[in-house]
Structure 1
Amino acid sequence: MMQRPFPALVFGLFLVTVSGAALADCNGVAQAGVVWRRCAFDGQAMPGARLTGAMLRDSSFQRADLTGADLSDADGYRAKFISATLVGARFDRARLIEVDFTRADLAGASLRDADLRNAKLVGASLANADLSGAKLGGADLHNADLSGARWTDGARLCGPRSVGECH
């Protein structure tokens, strides 16, 4: 008689119950609080997506279109938004530590009070973006366009030729 792998099943259920965390469903609907951990959405079109409070850790959105998306309060630790279109997107209070925004278009985006420590923003467009209260310690802004951006102090606007730093 064949034995079922009952102990492994019980062990698996036990882990889910103890951790209390939902497993990532990379096919889940784009909605507030979605858990998309270690998922790939490269090249996907998600304009206007409402991903407030989403778990996006280690996920990839390379060349994705998230124009006007709301990612406020999201946890995007080590997420990749390389060459993504994020025009007018909201990342207010988002945890974006070590995120990669290389060559991303964040023109007019709101990153108010976002944690961008050690983020890679090389060649990114942050023109007219709002960085009020953002934490940029260790962030790489090499060749980033900051023209017209509201700086972290919330008062200063970067000049028209601000590349790599706010002038």
Structure 2
Amino acid sequence: MPPTIPDSLSEASITENDLVDDGLYLSMRFGPLDLSGRDCEDAEFERCRFEETRLSGSTMRRAELRDVAFDRCDLANLRLPGARVFNTAIDGSRLTGTAMTECGLRDVLFSNCRADLSSFRFGRFKNVVFRDCDLIEANFQEADLAGARFERCKLSGAQFSQANMRGTRLTECDLYGVHGIQSFAGAVVTIADAQGLLFTLASAMGITIGD
């Protein structure tokens, strides 16, 4: 379900609403502010909208995001260790190198995002959708992806070692060269996607596919 965000939001400013430890941000609109390179913990965001905001290189430990929307934001190399992300939409944003390790994500949509080299290691996914995203060489090692869907995503070179993928659905995705092929047990893939997995599976079994 889409985030529940009121039409009327308070306009955030760097002087009054910068990212700080234990910060509480309610019903705010963050426009094209430069919040890169920040370091804080236990910040909470609820019913907030980020539009063209720069958060690149920031670290927000144990952050909580609920009913939040990110639109065309720069989240490259953002660190969100141990974050909880609920009912959130991230659209048209850059997440290259973003690390969301040990995060809990529920009812989250990533759409039209560049998220190559991102990390979701040890994450827990419930009703999470990646749609039209570049996830080349992303890391999902030991993540619980049972409640995740990947739609029209580039996943070549992505790491899935020891992930739980029972019930994970992949549709029209590029899966050439994925790592951790054994973790795909229980996943649901289309026939076209299975072709990409074939070469990886053959390589893992020491099979050479000739002409």
| TM-score, reference length from structure 1 | 0.75
One-letter code of the match for 1:78? N
Residue of structure 2 equivalent to 1:159: 176
How many residue pairs align between the two structures? 144
Q: Any residues of structure 2 matched to 1:28-39 within 5 Å, and which?
A: 31-39=40-48
Which consecutive residues of structure 2, in runs of 5 or more, have no partner in the other structure?
A: 1-21, 164-174, 180-191, 198-211
One-letter code of the match for 1:24? Y
Q: CA RMSD in A?
A: 2.8
Between the two structures, name the one with larger relative contact order (CA 8 Å, sep ≥ 6): 1
Summarize the Cα distance change of 1:23–1:45 in structure 2 as closer, same or farther, 3 Å threshold: closer
One-letter code of the match for 1:159? Y
Q: Any residues of structure 2 matched to 1:145-156 within 5 Å, and which?
A: 145-153=154-162
Residue of structure 2 equivalent to 1:102: 111
One-letter code of the match for 1:40? R
Matched-pair identity in %? 23
Residue of structure 2 equivalent to 1:86: 95
One-letter code of the match for 2:148? A
On the 8 A contact 1:34/1:51 being kept in 2, the answer is yes
Residue of structure 1 equivalent to 2:18: none
Aligned residue for 1:24, secondary structure, equals strand
Distance in 2 (alpha carbons) for counterparts of 1:102 and 1:68: 18
Q: Any residues of structure 2 matched to 1:100-139 within 5 Å, and which?
A: 100-139=109-148
Q: Any residues of structure 2 matched to 1:50-89 within 5 Å, and which?
A: 50-89=59-98
Deviation at 1:100, TM superposition (A): 0.8
More strand by share: 2
On the 8 A contact 2:158/2:178 being kept in 1, the answer is no
Which consecutive residues of structure 1, in runs of 5 or more, have no partner in the other structure?
A: 1-20
Distance in 2 (alpha carbons) for counterparts of 1:141 and 1:27: 29
| TM-score, reference length from structure 2 | 0.60
Deviation at 1:62, TM superposition (A): 1.7
Residue of structure 2 equivalent to 1:24: 25
On the 8 A contact 2:23/2:43 being kept in 1, the answer is no
On the 8 A contact 2:24/2:43 being kept in 1, the answer is no
On the 8 A contact 2:58/2:79 being kept in 1, the answer is yes
Distance in 2 (alpha carbons) for counterparts of 1:160 and 1:67: 24
